[in-house]
Amino acid sequence: MIAAIHQPNFIPWIGYFYKIAKSDIFILLDDVQYSKNSFINRNQIVTPQGANWVTLSVKQSGKFAQNINAVILADREKNVSTILKSIEGNYKKAPFFSEFFEIFKNDLLGSDNLSEINMAIIRSVCEFLSIETQLKISSKLNVTGQSTMRLIDICKTVNSNEYLSGFGGNNYQEVALFQEYNIKLSISDFQHPKYQQLWGKEFQPNMSILDFLFNCGKEYCTHFFKGTH
């Protein structure tokens, strides 16, 4: 059984969902330290000026070293309103905008907890695109290892004999440990699709999944992820 593990990022890019679709079980790593201004609370969209960040601002004062699942939005009403206006303003002319926007909006409005919002959006995208991979939350697994050993302990806990890593995994993972514990280490073979984006600019890769959904639509995107196995 193939397992993949990643922090619950905000409106992740296509490669994130490709890794989910390639796995039998995907663990959302919500009980590790939050990184300021990372993909956990922001991502990029395409605007008339090119790629631009959309960010969920979070409370940080006095909350040093808090885990991802403890992070709360700052000024939630204004914060969410700004994100929705930015997404709608830049994508309302996209051919498939209406297919997913209300789902995204409801998820964004559903909580003031960053991890809960991110996981709700990730689940909704998977359901929308018929990605049937089982999703689990690491904080419910009671795994306490650190670094590579934590990944191995999670794999063992969910009875996985293969771990699917992203491209940069070998920069920080101890490859020999996977061999020691008889877990096959695989690297994602994701190839970024090229598609028509708004605004007639040079193609911008690695954008939020929303760019793919709004420009290409449910049928095309579902077919893309169906081809992962």
What is the structure's pLDDT at 194?
96
What are 44's strand-pairing partners?
53
Measure the CA–CA gap between 126 and 103, rounded to whole angstroms: 12
| Share of residues in the chain with pLDDT > 70 (%) | 95
> Three-state DSSP class for 132?
coil
- pLDDT confidence of 189, banded at 50, 70, 90? very high
pLDDT in tens, 127-163: 999 999 999 999 999 898 888 999 999 999 999 999 9
Q: What is the pTM of this model?
A: 0.95
What is the structure's pLDDT at 228?
61
| Across 160-184, average pLDDT | 83
What is the structure's pLDDT at 62?
57
The overall average pLDDT reported for the chain is 93
104 residue type, one letter: F
What is the structure's pLDDT at 58?
94
